[in-house]
Structure 1
Amino acid sequence: MNKERDNDLFGSQLNQILILLQTVQCQIKRISTFQDQTYQWNTKHHQYLQNVLKSFNKINAIFNTKEGNFNDSNNNQSNDNKIIKNQTFHQKIISVYDPLNPFSQELQYLVMQIDKDLFDELEEESIIIIYPFILKWFKEENPIQIVVALVLLWEISLKFHYLGKKFKDINKKLLVCLNIIESKGIINNLHCQGVFPFSEEEYIKLKSFLE
């Protein structure tokens, strides 16, 4: 009688152990799957961030295109007169900016030279000056300039997010232009060419900054 009871108890304990083992195996499998997904997401996110940095680093090449090639002798002479050595990029933007000609070739030439380090030198006043260029480049629908504009917009949304209210009116226009660009397949083409600098989540976040 006692032996049968012991066997029943052992069998019950064995079943509990098997159930626990199955539960642990399922949990391990879920953790492994989660780790794989997390690693893949982090890797993909890192790649997108690298694309953003690459986009910034390639901006200097843009002014070699037909639309951005403002490097003539007159511009160089004028820039030499206005820009003093050892100025920050913010100070250079301020010194070149002409309120009567806010989209001057001199200023656009200067903005086209921006990279990540130069962007970090910008301040609120210089951001306000160059922000309209983003709308200008969206309207011109040049793919290279659109990438530059998107990267600038992304960096501004991170570092100067508090300016969203100040840019409320222009942001509405930017969002309209961005929707037009999407409808024309330009964004999709940038994706296909591997030069679109954001993940889907980041792009949604960027658009929410404009809303």
Structure 2
Amino acid sequence: MPNTLVFNWKRLLTEGAVVVFSILLAFAIDALWDERKKNNEIREVLSLVEIETKTNLLDLERSIKRHEKIVAAIQTAHNEQSIASVISDAVISAEVFEPTTDALQTLISTGMLSAIDNVDLRIALIAVDGLAKDLTENEAVAVKFRDFARRRIASLGVKIYDALPESNPAFVDVEVLNLLAMRESEERNAIRSGQKLQAHLQSITVNLAALNKQ
């Protein structure tokens, strides 16, 4: 009888150990599966961030060129002391860069950013928003001065979209030219901010490409 009891206890302990091991194994498999799923999600978001960044770079390059075109037009206006030949670019056109950051915001808001081992890359990704806002602020001020110039022209009784004769006094109005000079300054600030953001995004693109290849 005692031997039978000992045998039963041994079997019970063995079976219990098997059950516990099976449960722990199941938990381990679930954890590995969850980790793998999470890593796949992070890789997918990082891939989207890379695509998003490249798209923003292309758009930003075009945006900077438009700012440069506006600056060139205002310079021509000052050289000629008239806006007659450049009214479209100097007084009508405006440029505002609007980056797409959905994937980047997802990366940051979900906490996936912490999965990136490269600390410099993490910091760079977080800094994108601030650099983009700097550019937006410069552009907003430039647009304000454009609007001031347009209001001045309107106050002279001129409709900005009309085909105006070259002798129109609005073309050579000193106040209009001064307002455009202030706009030019802000457009140049926008170009500098844009170039700073451009270099930043280019660096991020290189690092993301290397990371996504791993």
TM-score (ref. length: structure 1): 0.38
Which one has a bigger Cα radius of gyration? Answer: 2
Q: Highest relative contact order (Cα 8 Å, sep 6+), 1 or 2?
A: 2
TM-score (ref. length: structure 2): 0.38
